[in-house]
C-alpha cells in the first residue's frame, strides 16, 4: 500500500496543472482576506473575530472547489491518457490504486486548506483594526468547517471523476451543481409547495458546516456535515465499484 501511495504522490506532484491550481487556490483567499482586513473602512469598530473568520472561511470556499477540480484531473487524466492501465496491471486487484489516490489528494487538500486558514487568520488579524479572537462567535467553527468541506469536495471530485471519466463533464457537475442546479431544484420544488427543501440539498448541507443559520433553516454544522458526507460516501462507493468492474 505504501508503494501505491508513493506512486500516486509522484503522479500528482509532477503534473503542472496541480501546482498551478494549488497556487491559485492558495493565493485567492490569502490576497482577498488580507486586502479586505487591511483596507477596512470602519476603523473605529474594526473586524471582530467572527467577521474575520467568516471572511477567511468564505474566500477559502473557492480554494475548496479548486482542490475538488484537482482531484477530478487526477483520475480523469489517467483514463483519458490510458495511464491507468499500467497502474492496474501492476496492481491487479485495483483496490490499492483506487484507495491510494484519494489518500494523497485528501492529504494535499487538507494540508493546503489548513495552511491557508492559518496564514489568512494570522496576517489578517495583524492587519485588521480591532481585536480578533478565535473564540468570537462562530469564528473557529467556520474555519474548522471549511477544512472539512474542502476534504469533502476533494472526495466528491474524485468520485465524480471515477463515475463520469470525462474531465470537462465532471468539472461542470462539481461547479455548476452548487452554483445553479441546487437553487433551481429547490426553487421549483418550493413553487409546488415543498418548503424547506433547500436545506436537504447536498451542497447546502455541506455549506452549513461553514455558515450555520441559527434560525433552523439548515441542518446544522454536525447534521449538515453528516448528510453531506453521506452523499459523498454513496458516490464514492458507486465510483469505486464501477471503476473496479469496468474496463480501464
Using one digit for the tens of pLDDT, what is the confidence trace for 103-133?
A: 999 999 999 999 999 998 888 888 776 667 6
> What is the C-alpha to C-alpha distance for residues 13 and 133, in angstroms, rounded to an integer?
36
Contacts 24+ apart (CB under 8 A), 208-215: 209/145, 209/146, 209/148, 209/149, 210/57, 210/58, 210/61, 210/142, 210/145, 210/146, 210/149, 211/54, 211/57, 211/58, 211/142, 211/145, 212/138, 212/141, 212/145
Give the residue with greater pLDDT, 218 vs 109.
109
Give the residue with greater pLDDT, 164 vs 247.
164
**pLDDT tier for residue 45 given thresholds of 50, 70 and 90:** low
Domain range list for the chain: 2-245
Whole-prediction pTM: 0.88
Using one digit for the tens of pLDDT, what is the confidence trace for 167-215?
A: 999 999 999 888 887 778 777 877 776 777 777 888 888 888 888 776 6
Nearest Cα residue to 148 out of 123, 114, 194: 114
Q: What is the DSSP letter of 177?
A: I
**pLDDT tier for residue 216 given thresholds of 50, 70 and 90:** low
Amino acid at each position: 500500500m505504501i508503494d501505491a501511495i508513493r506512486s500516486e504522490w509522484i503522479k500528482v506532484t509532477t503534473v503542472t496543472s496541480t501546482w498551478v491550481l494549488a497556487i491559485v487556490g492558495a493565493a485567492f483567499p490569502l490576497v482577498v482576506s488580507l486586502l479586505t482586513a487591511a483596507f477596512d473602512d470602519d476603523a473605529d469598530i474594526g473586524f471582530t473575530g467572527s467577521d474575520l473568520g467568516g471572511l477567511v472561511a468564505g474566500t477559502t470556499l473557492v480554494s475548496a472547489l479548486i482542490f475538488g477540480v484537482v482531484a477530478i484531473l487526477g483520475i480523469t487524466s489517467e483514463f483519458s491518457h490510458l495511464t491507468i492501465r499500467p497502474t492496474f496491471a501492476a496492481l491487479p486487484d485495483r483496490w490499492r490504486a483506487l484507495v491510494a489516490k484519494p489518500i494523497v489528494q485528501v492529504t494535499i487538500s487538507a494540508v493546503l486548506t489548513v495552511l491557508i486558514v492559518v496564514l489568512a487568520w494570522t496576517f489578517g488579524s495583524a492587519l485588521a483594526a480591532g481585536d480578533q479572537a478565535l473564540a468570537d462567535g462562530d469564528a473557529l467553527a467556520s474555519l474548522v468547517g471549511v477544512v472539512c468541506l474542502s476534504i469533502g469536495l476533494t472526495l466528491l471530485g474524485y468520485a465524480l471523476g471515477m463515475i463520469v471519466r470525462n474531465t470537462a463533464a465532471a468539472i461542470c457537475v462539481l461547479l455548476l451543481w452548487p452554483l445553479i442546479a441546487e437553487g433551481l431544484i429547490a426553487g421549483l420544488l418550493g413553487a409546488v409547495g415543498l418548503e424547506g427543501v433547500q436545506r436537504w440539498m447536498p451542497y447546502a448541507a455541506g455549506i452549513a458546516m461553514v455558515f450555520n443559520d441559527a434560525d433552523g433553516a439548515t441542518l446544522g454544522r454536525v447534521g449538515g456535515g453528516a448528510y453531506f458526507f453521506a452523499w459523498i460516501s454513496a458516490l464514492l462507493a458507486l465510483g469505486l465499484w464501477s471503476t473496479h468492474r469496468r474496463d480501464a
